Chains A and B, each alone.
Chain A
């Protein structure tokens, strides 16, 4: 089977039972995505599939041979962190770091959903989605952090998103 991950092509022979998460971790050496529950309950395995966030433990690798997959390794590297990753470091949006790749992939997908105007449970006016802490918190609640860096995660996402908006406004 062939996969497109982080802009690269990978070939692997895997079991039809192999999840997208286990494909990355156990077969391709991409261990940035984490396994916390294997049941879609914690969000540590979050990846981006064609730009949308997904619990990669809940989907089979075999289903994604035509997809463009992005993992944490594709967002940035030490020394070349993307703005969201850098904001997580600055605001201490993690402690043990195990949920962190999932948080950052999830936040990436979430900001895109917000930009597209998708409403959430806390959206008051479905016609006009605004960028608030409550929206961030609601939309990030599928990503558990037992170290409980939640307030710092919200600050990191807010800052990264605001700097992105500023950059876009300047263009």
Chain B
């Protein structure tokens, strides 16, 4: 009888213990167990730990786009009241954040300035006000250098990146010849701008040293790998670094890797011998954390007159700092979403002296499907077909690129049921044909797809002598519902009510979890908890003197062989077990993804060009839904990100310096309450035995995938104006609108 269970997903799990449980928790729309703390303002976020003798740090930035630091004059700052020090370490400070999941330090050394707003020093003072004021008096002397601030005119300088989780270039068949021979062809270019995750909680770290050991209270999505990154950046052993991220005020990719404030705070705290808290200002978050890359995407589709795709070509260029090889995998869903025996999907990268680009909610799909799903809409029109029908007849039997089966795929059913729920059959396919007063009304749709990933994840589950259970993992809950679904899984498998379960997250002194990113959180950390509970069930069965399959656990009691005893009577001083899930062969042997279909109605003001999203209906299939309430909220949140991408979100880079001109929440326009209509979300029943023992798939990024294209397609249907340059702001629409 083992204290730990490890499962590598090399073979499917056709029978999940979740279906054998009798507690009735799985899938139910339970309220979040962390809800009361959050609505009462008692959940403790990164900058909210009361520590004795705390000093405040404020970051100093270089306000040029490309330069070399020749000196930093701290005299004026040091003379100011309350200022303790100005800490400068041009070699150790990190130039930019790290990408998610890396175990290495990000690029270090800040003497060379590669983007406007790069952090070069930190002022530490007794109070926040003193530190902020003094930071403005630090003079950074710079020798200007010519910078790479122009994207469009330099496209031909883009290179094939080294590669990452997505293969940069893939091809099959003979796409050029097939395009030349295809009776119907579409060839167009879409562009999407840089974007910012704009999580509501700014990046913040409080660094506390005890001897040679460092504890950081910070806002992180993936503490297990963030700890490795930080340790390496500081030249420390990872076991001397502890990260605590119990509550995280949103991430959306921006907190996957460590950011400049933590290294600065840690160095300052070590030098001063005091805890140092450093919260980035909102402007610093925009300037010096991470953006979603802008993209240039050329799509060519070829089909017969019957609409059956023969060719899919999606060639993309994104941007990053020279030497940073992360690229926006904009063609990732184009790999497998539609049929077509001839395909080429490429990702090239253009060096820019703009802030780092990295993962933002649905890296790849979010930007790529803005283009692909708009292309499918245009192609349907060209073919004289309904856009739903075009997608259905091109729903492939297997992965058209790799030739492997899908794990589960219900795209066609999502399209059919979504269309029925929305009333798609009543849509007028003629653009600009429906007008109500000064409003032009249109309907649009798009498919949704997001690759499913499993990450190695570990958790410990313990049952105390009182019969209560504790779940421990450094997995995080960034709003995704982790606290709640881990309690549901534990409760289901151990027969406990959620209020008898303590879930402790975000502390790297507990087993390393998958972290929150890539929509893998619930499946990965949930599976690790499942496996720990499976090991505990074996121990309980032994204590009960019965076979595991005879054992029923319900409401704190163990039941077998006509006996029912309190669970607490079987655990002695307490039981504990660890579970570990690992990705395996099924990642390659089955194409795994979640799917959906978006339908929406927009109204475009014929006089002003203002766009209002009026109605949104989406249907998703994402394996087993663990909590119907939190799952729905995740999908709604994703859809709203898509509305923002379609209509308002754009980081504007100054062409002279790369500076993010609109570096705050007044000028970078995320959707507000009045921008968002009632959103109807439907889930199809599904179990994916190839994915993990929970048979669930990711859905945190499914909502955004394709959502913005549905809005763009509806705008075309409303107005007859096709804009391929996102966001679709009114200045782009107005010239094409009918004369008033």
Contact = CB atoms under 8 A, between A and B. Distances in A.
A147 B673 contact: no
Contacts of B248: 96
Interface string A94-131: 11111111001000000000000000001000000000
A89 B478 CA distance: 16
Given A39-B664, A146-B250, A153-B673, A95 B36 contact: no
Contact of A148 (B41, B637, B678): B637
Contacts of B252: 146
The binding surface of chain B is classed by DSSP as loop
B130 interface: yes
A32 to B, nearest CB: 2
Given A36-B202, A141-B674, A92 B629 contact: yes
Interface in A35-71: 35-39, 41-42, 44, 71
Interface string B113-157: 000000000000001111001000000000000000000000000
Contacts of B44: 31
A44 B200 contact: yes
B282 A95 contact: no
Contacts of B41: 30-33, 71-73, 100-101
Contacts of B45: 31, 34, 98
Given A15-B130, A37-B665, A98-B45, A146 B673 contact: no
B42 A146 contact: no
B234 interface: no
Contacts of B199: 96, 98, 146
A113 B26 CA distance: 41
Of B133, B634, B673, which is in contact with the most chain A CB atoms at under 10 Å from its CB?
B673
A35 B665 CA distance: 13
A150 B665 contact: no
B551 to A, nearest CB: 34
A35 B202 contact: yes
B325 interface: no
Contacts of B43: 97
Interface in B478-516: 478-481
A95 B479 contact: yes
Of A73, A104, A149, which is in contact with the most chain B CB atoms at under 10 Å from its CB?
A149
Interface residues of A, number: 64
B1 interface: no
The binding surface of chain A is classed by DSSP as loop
B40 A147 contact: no
B236 interface: no
Contacts of A136: 673
Given A37-B664, A44-B200, A97 B40 contact: no
Nearest to A39: B664
A79 interface: yes
A98 B32 contact: no
Given A38-B282, A137-B673, A152-B633, A78 B130 contact: no
B471 interface: no
Contacts of A30: 41
Given A141-B674, A148-B641, A150-B673, A94 B666 contact: no
Contacts of B670: 144, 146
Given A144-B200, A150-B676, A95 B637 contact: yes
A36 B640 contact: no
Interface of B: 31-32, 34-45, 47-48, 50, 127-130, 133, 197-202, 247-252, 279, 281-282, 478-481, 629-630, 632-634, 636-637, 639-641, 664-666, 670-679
10 contacts: A25-B47, A35-B47, A38-B281, A39-B664, A85-B40, A97-B38, A137-B674, A141-B672, A142-B672, A149-B637
Interface of A: 15, 17-18, 22, 25-26, 29-39, 41-42, 44, 71-73, 75-79, 81, 85-86, 88-90, 92, 94-101, 104, 122, 134, 136-138, 140-154
What are the 10 tightest A-B residue pairs by CB atom distance, in nearest-first order? A32-B41, A98-B249, A95-B479, A97-B38, A96-B479, A148-B640, A72-B41, A78-B36, A89-B35, A31-B48
